[in-house]
Structure 1
Amino acid sequence: MSQNILVINSGSSSIKFSLFDMTSETEQASGLAERLGGDDASLTLKYSGQKTTLDLAQSDYRSTLSVIIDKLTEIGLLETLPMAIGHRVVHGGEYFSDPVVVSTDVMDKIRKVIPLAPLHNPANLAGMEAIAELYPDIPQVAVFDTAFHQTLPAKAFLYGVPYELYEELAVRRYGFHGISHQYVASEAARRLNLGDQHGIITAHLGNGCSAAAVVNGHSVDTTMGLTPLEGLVMGTRSGDVDPNLHQFLHAQKGWDIDQITNLLNKESGMLGLTGLSNDMRTIEQAANEGNERAQLALDVFCFRLARQIGALAASLPQLDALVFTGGIGENSRTVRAMVIDNLKVFGLSLNGELNADNGDEHGVISGENGPKVIVVNTKEELMIAKEALALV
């Protein structure tokens, strides 16, 4: 029997998708529909070493998802409809600590936490609603970026603000990238034969960045908070700043709350520090060519990450491994080396040759002594497909 699972990540004007054959856990096709609703909307589909681009002018979620499934059927990857569709959902609030089969009640709860993820949850919902209209017989599964972090203890998720704000508005730290943190922590424990009792820190580094402390497979602390703005310096996000910065910028520059929030989310981070780019590859090249602000941004990025890793270690019984993942974590030898150089107090060391090769056969890049440092390629879409298959 076919075990095809379609994984969907609906954005504000895009749909990213992957099709998996779960009998072998292989990705058969992937693609991206972007600029939905516009005259230049398009769909790019990759499969069997081929790449196809289709015009989707004035398409919406419903019509685009229909085109995706029709095209996958046309090229022979789907003999029947997928046995399930897995959705990545950014925010589940306190409602969801595990993946769930999508129902009217589930969608209502996702809708209730839209204020916590106003850019993401409406798009995630739109994808579910479109599938429900088009293919009501296909089971849908929601997998939440926040769910893995629902095991955080209260001492880690509460802010030092009036408790009534938590009771009334659920103001607390939630954490994100949970699908990735869960996968790479589990994979690192397996590769390193750590057994059931272990302490791991995972660093998911891309345009968005977060780190997490994982004890025996459970998240106990993480760097992102109420929203994905908290924590590490990122591509365009500031990460942690003094909360009074808002008042200071309002008083000094006359900016309103929306301007300041936009600045911190879209004009800060590595882009703001360098004035060049939010792409780490461009920044590293500029630093190598002598650009002082690019080098300064690298120093800030790596130091802030190292400092947060040190803080996360307070949640662990012992530090067995540090995991690098995400586009930067998997590919930037420079960032990994600079971060480890700031963490010598934990006995962490780097094997230069292994780091240059992005790790040995297990992804290990550390020296012989101290906790292991390992590179694990994240597989968020496969993780969603596995969760969907398990539920249906």
Structure 2
Amino acid sequence: MSGSRVLVLNSGSSSVKYQLLDMRDGGRLAVGLVERIGESGSRLKHSPADGESRERNGSVPDHDAALKAMAAELDRDGLGLGSPELAAIGHRVVHGGLRFTEPTVVDDAVLAEIERLIPVAPLHNPANLTGIRTAQALRPDLPQVAVFDTAFHTTMPESAARYAIDVETADAHRVRRYGFHGTSHAYVSRETARLLGRAPEDVNVIVLHLGNGASASAVRGGRCVDTSMGLTPLEGLVMGTRSGDTDPAVIFHLMRVGGMSADEIDTLLNKRSGLIGLCGDNDMREIRRRVDAGDERAGLAFDIYIHRLKKYIGAYYAVLGRVDAVAFTAGVGENSAPVREAAVAGLEGLGLAVDGGLNAVRGDGARLISPADARVAVAVVPTDEEMEIAAQTYALVNDSGNQNLT
């Protein structure tokens, strides 16, 4: 195979994010977003590496039209989908269940299994499938590779992955902890080891992926041994609009006493809870502005957010036994110095601390923010899920002995 480029697609229900990468040097040749697919006011934003960004507004009725519009923009830059330099298309797929533990070349059986998993990922897998099928129609000769959010977490032991409910019921309905944000946790844990000048298999890391969606993972020697998200992305940390950990009986209480339906409770916990439910904002920058201005409601929301975060740091410290680093990543983790400072405040007995000066410095690359003599490194490591997907895709299609991992 002579091509060195990989197109990465992240297909959502009403959007397609894309990046074209050259795997010889990791350079981004183009990035873009088609949003509001099937809605009024559809928009495409396209940014080539060597040229000015472009924006188009107009009707984009479906994913087929979205990918054709993307292809047209790439053609304008001489980067079209018909180029012999394009080696493969890598797709983010949210849920791979237990079957998909590695990136996988897509065939009919793979598509059928992704479809079978729709009941445990109803908001994500249908859109992911649509993106794959549309890309297949555009380039039927090209390898399409699925990279699963759940794959990195399939190394969890059963003691971490199982819920303490009746085993037969759990198995019949595939109820267990799967975890999400796996490509981010894989990338960040590996980059943290590199930052420390050590091999991933020699390093234990707690990764804190803090964006509007947020998750924590305990990574021992490059393998995930626990993670905060569960059957769905609702479990775990306090998030922008999701509640995170909640007593399951709250659902029954709201049904019996509040008269709420299952769908109404689903919407409450996923879209009207977390930070936005606590204080009306889910942007950490605005919440911190309000905290600094003395807003008590925002202050309580911030305190609840930090309290949950500290609980997971402590829990995963206990799970790992030895921690070499705590790595903050994603939008909040990379950009909010107050969150990082508050998350480790009072944990000096565990060897955790941040240097105020280093923590306040903004930067684009991976960096340490802990004092030089700290027993446990605290790091900021920008995530790069698209590069992780591209790297896994390129490695797979270049390995002629593993063209079918299904």
Q: TM-score, normalised by structure 1?
A: 0.97
**Whole-angstrom CA distance in 2 between matches of 1:74 and 1:200:** 43
Contact 1:359 1:374 in 2 (8 A): no
The answer to whether 1:80 aligns with 2:83 is yes
Q: Classify 1:28/1:359 alpha carbon distance in 2 versus 1 (closer, same or farther; 3 Å).
A: closer
Provide the alpha-carbon RMSD of the alignment.
Answer: 1.5
Which residue in 1 is equivalent to 2:57?
55
Contact 1:306 1:342 in 2 (8 A): no
The answer to whether 1:204 aligns with 2:209 is yes
1:38 Cα offset (Å): 2.0
**Whole-angstrom CA distance in 2 between matches of 1:56 and 1:192:** 48
Of 225, 231, 240, the match for 1:235: 240
Contact 1:199 1:317 in 2 (8 A): no
Which residue in 1 is equivalent to 2:382?
377
Q: Which moved more, 1:259-268 or 1:38-47?
A: 38-47
Which residue in 1 is equivalent to 2:110?
106
- What's the CA shift string for 1:133-183, capped at 9, x where partnerless? 221011110000000000000000000100012321111000000000000
Q: Classify 1:382/1:361 alpha carbon distance in 2 versus 1 (closer, same or farther; 3 Å).
A: closer
The one-letter code matched in structure 1 to 2:230 is G
Runs of 4+ aligned structure 1 residues displaced above 3 Å come to: 358-362
For structure 2, list consecutive stretches of 5 or more residues without a partner in the other structure: 398-406
Q: Classify 1:347/1:381 alpha carbon distance in 2 versus 1 (closer, same or farther; 3 Å).
A: same
Of 332, 338, 345, the match for 1:341: 345
Which residue in 1 is equivalent to 2:155?
151
Q: Which moved more, 1:368-377 or 1:352-361?
A: 352-361
The one-letter code matched in structure 1 to 2:83 is T
The one-letter code matched in structure 1 to 2:209 is H
1:359 Cα offset (Å): 7.0
Which residue in 2 is equivalent to 1:96?
100
Alignment of 1:196-275 (within 5 A): 196-275=201-280
Q: Classify 1:326/1:361 alpha carbon distance in 2 versus 1 (closer, same or farther; 3 Å).
A: closer
Contact 2:344 2:354 in 1 (8 A): yes
Contact 1:10 1:127 in 2 (8 A): yes
The one-letter code matched in structure 2 to 1:190 is R
1:246 Cα offset (Å): 0.7
**Whole-angstrom CA distance in 2 between matches of 1:184 and 1:358:** 18
Alignment of 1:1-392 (within 5 A): 1-48=2-49, 50-78=52-80, 80=83, 82-195=86-199, 196-275=201-280, 277-358=281-362, 362-367=366-371, 368-392=373-397
Contact 1:10 1:124 in 2 (8 A): yes
1:76 Cα offset (Å): 1.9
**Whole-angstrom CA distance in 2 between matches of 1:304 and 1:237:** 13
Contact 1:151 1:218 in 2 (8 A): yes
Contact 1:183 1:383 in 2 (8 A): yes
Q: Which moved more, 1:64-73 or 1:77-86?
A: 77-86
Contact 1:303 1:342 in 2 (8 A): no
1:77 Cα offset (Å): 3.0
Secondary structure at the aligned position of 2:9 is classed as strand
Secondary structure at the aligned position of 1:336 is classed as helix
- What's the CA shift string for 1:11-35, capped at 9, x where partnerless? 0011011110111101111111011
Q: Which moved more, 1:101-110 or 1:51-60?
A: 51-60
Q: How many residues align?
A: 391
The one-letter code matched in structure 2 to 1:17 is Y
The one-letter code matched in structure 1 to 2:64 is R
* Fraction of identical pairs, as percent: 48
Q: Which moved more, 1:328-337 or 1:162-171?
A: 162-171
1:311 Cα offset (Å): 0.8
**Whole-angstrom CA distance in 1 between matches of 2:92 and 2:130:** 12
Contact 2:364 2:382 in 1 (8 A): no
1:309 Cα offset (Å): 1.2
Contact 1:36 1:56 in 2 (8 A): no
Secondary structure at the aligned position of 2:382 is classed as coil
Contact 1:2 1:21 in 2 (8 A): no
Contact 2:365 2:382 in 1 (8 A): no
1:59 Cα offset (Å): 2.5
Contact 1:56 1:64 in 2 (8 A): no
